Structures are given as C-alpha cells and as structure tokens.
Amino acid sequence: MYKANENMQSEEYSLIKQCVDGDGEVYAILVERYQEMVYNIAYRMLGDAETARDISQESFISAYEALENFKNSSKFSTWLCSIVMNKCRDYLRCKKVDISIDDVRESLFSTMPDPEGSMYQKQLGRTLQKAIGALPEDYRQVIVLKHIEGFDYKEMESILGVSANALKVRTCRAREMLKKFLLETRGTDG
C-alpha cells in the first residue's frame, strides 16, 4: 500500500510539472481524482450543496493558478484541502451563512434498501448535518477532516496550521459537543 501511495504521489508530481510547463489539459486528471473529496469537505463545512459546488470550483481554479507554488514535500491532496478549507472560511466569514440540512447525501450514511431503514438513515443524516453545522467553525473543521474525510492529524496539521496535539484536543471536544447535541435532539424527538 505504501508503494502504491508513493507511485500515485510521484504521478501527481509529474502531472503538476506538466501543468506548470504549460500543459493545462492534464489538470483534469487531478480534478477528477479529487472532486468528490473537495465537494464533501465544502459541503460539510457549509451545509449547502450549491454553495459547496461553487466553492469546489473556486478551489480547483485557485489551486491551478497556484500550482507553481506547490511544494513537492507535501501531498497534493493535503495542499488542495487547505485551499478548500480557506475558501470555506472566507465564505463563512463574509456570509455568516446558516447551515442548511436539506441536501445531506444519503450515500454517506447508508445503502439500506428497505424504505423504513432508508427513512431512518435520511433522518440520521439530517440530524448529523445539523449537529455538525451547529459546531463552532474550528470544531466543525476537525470533524469534517478527521471523521468524514479520514485525514490523519499530521495532514490536518498541514491543512489547518495547528499542532497535532491541539487538533487531538479539539477533535475530542468536538465529539463531545456532537454527542451532547445528539442526546439533546433525541430527547426532543421522543
């Protein structure tokens, strides 16, 4: 597995070099490879599908324009993720947007075939998105990156510019906040 990651990273460096050297067409390979990750991060941070698509597109454009600044010492996905997070932060700062919970993608939570199970999963998805949206931005970031996108603390450190130890504490606190919110929600649903 390590060898496969190393090969993919090497391939990505080659694609980036081709882009910087003037062959912008190969950038489509990187976009295709990371478009789902970028969209998921933007959606989880913003809670709105349309805005997440816009932020995703802006993120890929910004990344393309800054490719010559990419340092081969980090993974492209980590660098791209930091761009997405910054775009989301900027958007939230400018808009002070309310987090929408209408467009939670069922596929992230379950593929249950029966209607009752599907309805339960849809409601769970809405509740989770509402809970994530209720978190302060710093805590929302760590939940999205760690538990939804699966980044490790070292990668998160590069993306957010916060020490891994601080991120561990923040993640623990965010999970506690989510747990509290979900328990309170359960109490009001019954």
Query: Do 150 and 159 touch, CB atoms closer than 8 A?
Result: no
Evaluate whether residue 106 is within a structural domain. no
Evaluate whether residue 7 is within a structural domain. yes
Q: Are residue 182 and residue 152 in the same domain, yes or no?
A: yes
Looking at residue 188, its pLDDT comes to 61
- Single out the residue in 68, 100, 132 at which a domain terminates: 100
Domain range for 182: 112-190
Looking at residue 106, its pLDDT comes to 38
Q: Averaged over 34-43, what is the pLDDT? A: 94
Alpha-carbon span 37 to 188, nearest angstrom:
33
Look-up: residue for tokens 């996905």? 77
Whether this prediction's pTM lies above 0.75 is answered by: no
Check pLDDT > 60 for residue 112: no
Identify the residue with better confidence: 38 or 127. 38
CATH number of the domain residue 141 falls in: 1.10.10.10
Q: Are residue 42 and residue 81 in the same domain, yes or no?
A: yes
Q: Are residue 92 and residue 117 in the same domain, yes or no?
A: no
Q: Are residue 12 and residue 78 in the same domain, yes or no?
A: yes
Looking at residue 113, its pLDDT comes to 53
